[in-house]
Chains A and B, each alone.
Chain A
């Protein structure tokens, strides 16, 4: 029933590790996104992905890479995790680019020790 789902819900890991967060949407949407919410609750877009076109926010380190096996999935891979990567990561989707309502997943709380 869940429109946008993410796994895991919580992720605790050591610095230097590589981890992935999975996102799936069952809404039939064409566009998916990843956002980072920092400790001050400020949300920033990291990536948007539409029809195999990836738009990257220029401030995102290249240790972060989204991977889309199909239209319904956009996974986030993070290499060489750093303390500053600790945040809540939200996946979202929309029917098309720009004009449509975005629907958000429940978030993945990442803690890097």
Chain B
């Protein structure tokens, strides 16, 4: 059974710092991995999608990597801003059309 873990559960950084969020999954038989952002009381916004054949994806200040063999993905945020404060979720798309979510990392960027 696929299990997705995110570390750390919470992270506080001063504005301007670069940071890395980690995601690990137990079964490497995945279609893709997706990173989401969730603001308090709001829905999920898709940030990046990495197909199983890809190693990384970039969008603006965000860069996501995928190492399928080791069951790991990282989300790198450059030059963090207070507006980046949110909960970041990774989700692995695996068999029978299932999306398995991690429990998220709550990021606070301090002005």
Instruction: Report Cα–Cα, A41/B45, bound state, in Å.
Output: 15
Question: Is the C-beta of B31 less than 8 angstroms from some C-beta in chain A?
Answer: yes
The residues of B that contact A66 with a CB separation of less than 8 Å are none
The residues of A that contact B87 with a CB separation of less than 8 Å are 41
Asked if B45 and A97 sit within 8 Å, CB to CB, the answer is no
Instruction: Report Cα–Cα, A62/B28, bound state, in Å.
Output: 31
Asked if B46 and A104 sit within 8 Å, CB to CB, the answer is yes
Interface hits, B89-109 → A, CB 8 Å: 89, 91, 93, 96-101, 103-104
Count of chain B residues with a beta carbon within 8 Å of a chain A beta carbon: 23
The residues of B that contact A90 with a CB separation of less than 8 Å are 43-44
In the complex, what's the smallest C-beta–C-beta distance from B4 to chain A, in angstroms? 10
Question: Which of A11-19, A43-51, A70-78 contacts the other chain?
Answer: A43-51
Question: Is the C-beta of A57 less than 8 angstroms from some C-beta in chain B?
Answer: yes
Given contacts A42-B103, A103-B46, 17 further A-B contacts (CB under 8 A): A41-B87, A41-B104, A43-B89, A45-B100, A50-B97, A90-B43, A98-B93, A99-B32, A99-B51, A101-B34, A102-B34, A102-B46, A104-B36, A104-B45, A105-B43, A106-B42, A107-B42
Interface positions of A (Cβ within 8 A of B): 31, 33, 35, 40-45, 48, 50, 55, 57, 90, 92, 97-107
CB-defined A-B contacts under 8 Å, sample of 27: A31-B97, A35-B99, A40-B103, A41-B103, A41-B104, A42-B101, A42-B103, A43-B44, A43-B91, A43-B101, A45-B97, A48-B97, A50-B97, A55-B96, A90-B44, A92-B44, A97-B97, A99-B51, A99-B93, A100-B49, A101-B49, A102-B99, A104-B44, A104-B46, A106-B43, A107-B42, A107-B43
Interface positions of B (Cβ within 8 A of A): 31-32, 34, 36, 42-46, 49, 51, 87, 89, 91, 93, 96-101, 103-104
